[in-house]
Amino acid sequence: MNEKIRILITGFGPFPGAPYNPTQPLVGRLAQLRRPAFADVELSSHIFPVTYAAVDRQLPRLLASYRPHALLMFGLATRTPYVRVETRARNSVTMLWPDAAHARVRKGAIAPNADAKRFGPHTARLLRAARLTGIDARSSRDAGSYLCNYLSWRGIERVRCGNGPLLAAFIHVPLLARGNASRRKGTAPRITLEELVDAGEAMLLEMVKSARLAARESRGIKI
């Protein structure tokens, strides 16, 4: 019997300065997709509270429960007007801004004496898939130093541990158009939720393909 590909899709809740996080509706929409292309795919989803403790506590539980072949993570970049496909996680965490639970970290690095961790070549395929939908999507080497970068680091760690997901990816999304705010004269139009869902679906499909290939190559699973 062929094993289904399992994809865990995650987003974040609101945080200080961002009472509305578009990754919540995005993740919800993607997890509910019913397309022939997803007939042999199990989609699960989770919204993380924007705290370091929640990531450290919940991520291992989610991976143990769903046993995903791939982890597709989304986060909000409030100052970027386009979609960013992150290529790596930096060994950096801010000591300036508290998380949503008002907790601050005491060290500026996630791990001692460690270099940045790269997601892998599949990020280029995700970027191409997003761009083919017509959305403004760009590659990024800097996931910041807040929870998005922290989750990226922890996700790549789990991939490299050998008994976690085969692949992980992190996508930064911008603030979305709301009402007529996206069409004000002299400003670049913001991305709408529908456009973001289309791009998210394209990246999800590419993630399924990449996960299937990775499973065949590394585990010899017929999928």
* pLDDT greater than 80 at residue 188: no
- 17-59 pLDDT, tens digit per residue, is 888 999 999 999 999 998 898 989 999 999 999 999 999 999 9
- Percent share of the chain, pLDDT over 70: 92
* pLDDT greater than 60 at residue 101: yes
Domain CATH for 116: 3.40.630.20
Written in H, E and C, the secondary structure of the chain is CCCCEEEEEEEECCECCECCCCHHHHHHHHHCCCCHHHCCEEEEEEEECCCHHHHHHHHHHHHHHHCCCEEEEEEECCCCCCEEEECEECCCCCCCCCCCCCCCCCCCCCCCCCCCEECCCHHHHHHHHHHCCCCCEEEECCCCCCHHHHHHHHHHHHHHCCCCCCEEEEEEECCCCCCCHHHCCCCCCCCCHHHHHHHHHHHHHHHHHHHHHHHHHHHCCCC
- 156-165 pLDDT, tens digit per residue, is 999 998 888 9
What pLDDT does residue 19 have? 87
If one counts the domains in the chain, the total is 1
pLDDT band at 184 (very low <50, low <70, confident <90, very high): very low
What pLDDT does residue 185 have? 47
**pTM for this predicted structure:** 0.91
What Å distances lie between residue 21 and 17, 69, 175, CA to CA?
Answer: 10, 26, 8
Mean pLDDT for the stretch of residues 126-132:
98
pLDDT band at 107 (very low <50, low <70, confident <90, very high): confident
* pLDDT greater than 90 at residue 13: yes
User: How much is the mean pLDDT over the chain?
Assistant: 90
| Residue 71: domain span | 5-219
